[in-house]
Structure 1
Amino acid sequence: MTAKATLREQILTELQKMDRATYEQRSRAIAEQLFQEEIWKKATTIGITIARFPEIATRAIIERAWQDGKTVAIPETNNKSKAMKFRVYKESDELCKKALGLYEPLESAVVVQKNDLDLLIVPGVLFRTDGYRIGFGAGFYDRYLMDYQGATISLCYREQITADFMPEPHDLPVQKLVIENNLK
């Protein structure tokens, strides 16, 4: 197992010990921090995943985006090509459950061009304070970020911050971290 895989497994194991009430409360608090960010306020089209426990819950963020009149786009992944694209997600849209239990848009949903995404909320498992991250291991976001020109932000629990890994040449940092309780 690689060092990244070991770190990923350790933090996910730790986070999975969180009870549901604590998880929901902590996720709400981080979402409220996000809503105060200028990068959030200015964005009109947001790329975001449908999170799974123990990832920071994204449902309230998506609902707030809709309330604020923002366009929400969620990723559709292709496991064979390892490519990812974002499709518009509206309140009434159905989702399909894909590999790894991820919920993704139907193929009938409108594709959002990469340069039309103002803000991409990039998921991750571990983060350095300079924005480098360890993702979930498939590399979808690393490939997507290579030529993405919009703003990038990641949401993280305080225990997801570490200095225990070195970025690899293909890794790209996010521009901003929203760390639980505004820790830096």
Structure 2
Amino acid sequence: MATKAMLREQILAQLNKMDKATYEQRSQAIAEQLFQEAIWQNATTIGITIARFPEIATQAIIKRAWQDGKIVSIPETHNKTKTMQFRVYEDGDELCKKALGLYEPLESAPVLPKTKIDLLIVPGVLFRTDGYRIGFGGGFYDRYLEDYQGGTLSLCYPEQITTAFKPEPHDLPVQKLVIENNLK
């Protein structure tokens, strides 16, 4: 069985071949599917990342959350401790570019406690249909999810679904996958 690092590298190489127009179209289709989900509709506060290519784009999702009156929070990571916390992100807020090219909130943005986040949209590279995922390798989300009680889901392309890995004891699954064109 291939290692997580090998699997991660293979799927990212495949996704990186996508052209910009296709990427935007596919991201929008997945966002539209998300908006139909009860877990999205019922959430008043969401946690979400500012995605980078080839991750499914999140800017349209964030804008829709604001339009729907939801509170949006984005993660601030702490590389030394491999931990993160979510800070409120409002329209027009400035972001700073951090390690690995991630855009994160400024330290002046209010921290949102885990107990106040209804829905966490968890990024990933590969997914099993039971919700287990291979992330980007830092373990930030597995640590954060340990005592998180709200709803969790991940957005993914069909080619990100695999059976090629077994979860490790520290891995925590998301409750739902929103898979492109997998309308239920």
- The TM-score by the shorter chain falls in which range? over 0.9
Report what 1:152 is aligned to. Answer: 152
How far the C-alpha of 1:100 sits from its partner, in A, is: 0.2
SS of equivalent residue, structure 2 residue 181? helix
1: distance between equivalents of 2:58 and 2:35? 12
Report what 2:136 is aligned to. Answer: 136
Q: CA RMSD in A?
A: 1.0
Report what 2:101 is aligned to. Answer: 101
SS of equivalent residue, structure 1 residue 85? strand
Report what 2:41 is aligned to. Answer: 41
Q: Show structure 1 runs of 5+ residues with no match.
A: none
Contact kept, 8 Å, 2:122 with 2:154, in 1: the verdict is: yes
Contact kept, 8 Å, 2:94 with 2:105, in 1: the verdict is: yes
2: distance between equivalents of 1:168 and 1:109? 34
Query: TM-score w.r.t. structure 2 length?
Result: 0.98
Identity of matched residues, %: 80
Query: TM-score w.r.t. structure 1 length?
Result: 0.98
How far the C-alpha of 1:183 sits from its partner, in A, is: 6.5
SS of equivalent residue, structure 1 residue 181? coil
Report what 2:163 is aligned to. Answer: 163
1:159-179 Cα shifts (integer Å, max 9, x gaps): 000000000000000000000
Report what 1:27 is aligned to. Answer: 27
2: distance between equivalents of 1:60 and 1:92? 14
**Consecutive aligned runs of 4 or more in structure 1 exceeding 4 Å deviation:** none
1: distance between equivalents of 2:173 and 2:29? 23
Report what 2:65 is aligned to. Answer: 65
Report what 1:81 is aligned to. Answer: 81
1: distance between equivalents of 2:153 and 2:81? 25
Contact kept, 8 Å, 2:33 with 2:183, in 1: the verdict is: no
How far the C-alpha of 1:92 sits from its partner, in A, is: 1.2
Report what 2:16 is aligned to. Answer: 16
Q: Show structure 2 runs of 5+ residues with no match.
A: none
Contact kept, 8 Å, 1:75 with 1:85, in 2: the verdict is: yes
The aligned length equals: 183
2: distance between equivalents of 1:14 and 1:20? 14
* Paired letter, 1:53: F
